[in-house]
Amino acid sequence: MRYVQLRAFHHVALHGGFSRAAEVLHVTQPAISDQVRKLEAEYDIRLFDRQKKQVQLTEQGKTLLDMTHRLFDVEKQALEFLSESLAEHSATLHIVADSAHHMTQVLGQFRHEFPDVFVSVRSGNSDQVVDQLKRYEADIGVLGNVPDNHDHDVVRLNSSPIVAFAPANSHYAKRQTVSLKKLASWPLVLRETGSRTRARLEQQAHSAGVSLSVKIEAEGREAVRLIVADGGGVGVVSEAEFGQPEGLVKIRIRDMQLTMEESIVCLNERRHSKLIHRFMELARATVEAR
């Protein structure tokens, strides 16, 4: 019996099929099927009833699943214990955010409690935030597009409408509001693919049957601001992130009821780590105080 065989069995049983287990474990379906088959063959036991595309546990499979639940729960606890020890030893908290604006209050409170902890804050779009959390390159993420799964502990912060912005001395800035159809005809400066703001705008435009005139694509929010400020076109951003930049004016999009939500997240499997747990607690307290 090998660890990989038990892990394959556990995830097939847990997720109800070989394909879904393969997706979760990031391996191929034949590899998962092979591990389960070897486990059954080695111990002359039938763990699943396979009927067409449906997979159901046998009574023996249910008994083994009870055992593997305990096995992997203990493994999870060990990982959390070791992660916490590592965090305390290194005294570092890694944060990756699509906008640091949304968590500055929480960060200030955290620094007050843990003055000796070094905090690293990096920028990234929503896809990059999720990827870095998954690869343990980040402890905390701030993003607008929370994955639709149960892998993350989530604190929802706020929501704000998407607005356009342009240089104060441009003819675009003479308008206080603009329709989505008119905005689509303007030369737009948008963030890279993976930006949730861009994705939401594109979805709304598609639903309205209009095509966006994207003239420049730039990586990162600050790059978009600089390009727009120098006359490169018109940008879009959530109102909460716009702030009061010198030389730029926001323009409300009047026929688009579209808001951007922001959340602070961590991996569920790491939420009991001391530093991560306290950061998430402070985030929840901040939301409740509002």
pLDDT given for residue 78 in this prediction: 81
pLDDT digits (tens, 9 = 90+) for 114-172: 888 899 999 888 888 988 998 888 999 998 777 777 889 999 887 788 899 999 999 99
CATH of the domain at 49: 1.10.10.10
Tell me, yes or no, if the pTM score tops 0.85.
no
- Map residue 184 onto helix, strand or coil: helix
Pair (44, 170) in one structural domain: no
Q: Any idea what the CATH number is for the domain that residue 182 is in? A: 3.40.190.10
120/106 same-domain check: yes
Question: How many Cα atoms within 13 Å fall on the side-chain side of residue 13?
Answer: 23
Q: Count of domains in the chain?
A: 3
pLDDT at 10: 93
Predicted pLDDT of residue 108: 93
User: What is the CA 269 to chain-centroid distance, rounded?
Assistant: 15
Residues 6+ apart with CB under 8 A from 67: none
Q: CB-based contacts of 94: which residues, under 8 Å, 6+ apart?
A: 120, 122, 137, 138, 139, 140
Domain stop point among 39, 54, 87:
87
> Which residue stretches of the chain have pLDDT < 70?
1, 52, 83-90, 256
Say yes or no: 151 and 266 in one domain.
Answer: yes
- Among the candidates 87, 114, 129, a domain finishes at 87
Identify whether residues 11 and 76 lie together within a single domain: yes
pLDDT at 85: 63
Rounded CA separation 69/76 (Å): 10
Written as six digits, the tokens of 48 are: 């699943």
Contact between residue 145 and residue 97 where contact means Cβ atoms under 8 Å apart: no
Domain housing 73: 3-87
**165, 255: one domain:** yes
